[in-house]
């Protein structure tokens, strides 16, 4: 049975209020000024996201379990996400996390912030991590889902993989598709769905404006919830009313 919609969403800085990887880099890695410098280089095309992100993570020498404990104490959930997720579950709308973060961190935060039930219902497509790595800083290292990609995780590829795996092979019979994101790791997914939700004041909007990619702005998941609900209830007939740029 085809669902009325599918929601793909970034995790860090989108579902959570803080980006957990940025938070680690700024607080127990080489700090905010260096992180912002690398972020600007990524946006300007001087370095790939994959290589810039690895530089950030390599600056963190804290053991991985301690990193998770640190994040559990400091990372907060977007206040509108839980209600949005519960509505999606009731409506039979899959919510798929498509993240450039690492699965163990996302699982730990998802269980802590949303609940154990969410782990069973929300599929996570992301990078992974190897622990007990003898030569890596802190003894752990990110394992990219798509190491050949400049993004490390090509989110557009993951979206297509999800659709193929679930039998959505006829492009004329696809359900409504939404993507929610905020930053440079979302650039590869920006053109893949019917409507892109881009977070106010973040890098993804700068990219969309520069590249002429349609989007709709959001401040919190309460905005996403209201717009998604209205579009789903209208069967997608009003989706153009929400497109900016």
Residues involved in catalysis: 10, 12
For 57, 70, 77, the CA distances from 73, given in Å and listed in that order, are 19, 5, 12
- CA 141 – CA 72 distance, rounded (Å): 20
Residue 6: in which H helix or E strand, if any? strand 5-9
CA 148-190-160 angle, 5° bins:
60
* The token pair that represents 166 in the structure block: 């679930």
Contacts of residue 214, defined as CB under 8 A and 6 or more positions apart, other chains included, come to: 195, 196, 208, 243, 244, 245
Coil vs helix vs strand at 161: helix
CA 61-182-210 angle, 5° bins:
120
Q: Name residue 141's beta-bridge partners.
A: 130
- CA 61 – CA 58 distance, rounded (Å): 7
The per-residue DSSP string of 216-240 comes to: EEESSHHHHHHHHHHHHHTTTTTGG
């Amino acid at each position: 049975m085809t669902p009325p919609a599918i929601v793909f969403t970034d995790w860090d800085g989108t579902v959570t209020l803080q980006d957990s990887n940025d938070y680690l880099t700024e607080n127990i890695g080489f700090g905010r000024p260096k992180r912002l410098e690398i972020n600007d280089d990524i946006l300007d095309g001087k370095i790939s996201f994959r290589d810039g992100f690895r530089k950030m993570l390599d600056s963190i020498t804290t053991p991985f379990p301690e990193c998770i404990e640190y994040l559990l104490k400091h990372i907060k959930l977007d206040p509108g996400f839980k209600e949005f997720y519960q509505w999606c579950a009731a409506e039979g709308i899959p919510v798929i996390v498509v993240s450039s973060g690492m699965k163990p961190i996302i699982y730990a935060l998802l269980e802590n912030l949303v609940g154990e039930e969410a782990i069973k219902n929300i599929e996570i497509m992301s990078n992974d991590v190897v622990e007990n790595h003898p030569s890596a800083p802190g003894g752990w290292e990110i394992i990219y889902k798509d190491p050949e990609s400049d993004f490390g995780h090509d989110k557009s590829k993951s979206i297509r993989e999800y659709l193929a795996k679930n039998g959505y092979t006829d492009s004329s019979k696809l359900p409504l598709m939404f993507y929610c994101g905020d930053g440079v790791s979302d650039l590869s997914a920006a053109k893949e769905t019917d409507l892109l939700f881009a977070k106010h004041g973040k890098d993804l909007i700068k990219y969309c404006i520069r590249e002429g990619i349609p989007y709709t702005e959001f401040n919190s998941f309460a905005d996403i919830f209201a717009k998604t609900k209205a579009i789903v209830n209208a069967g997608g007939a009003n989706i153009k009313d929400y497109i900016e740029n």
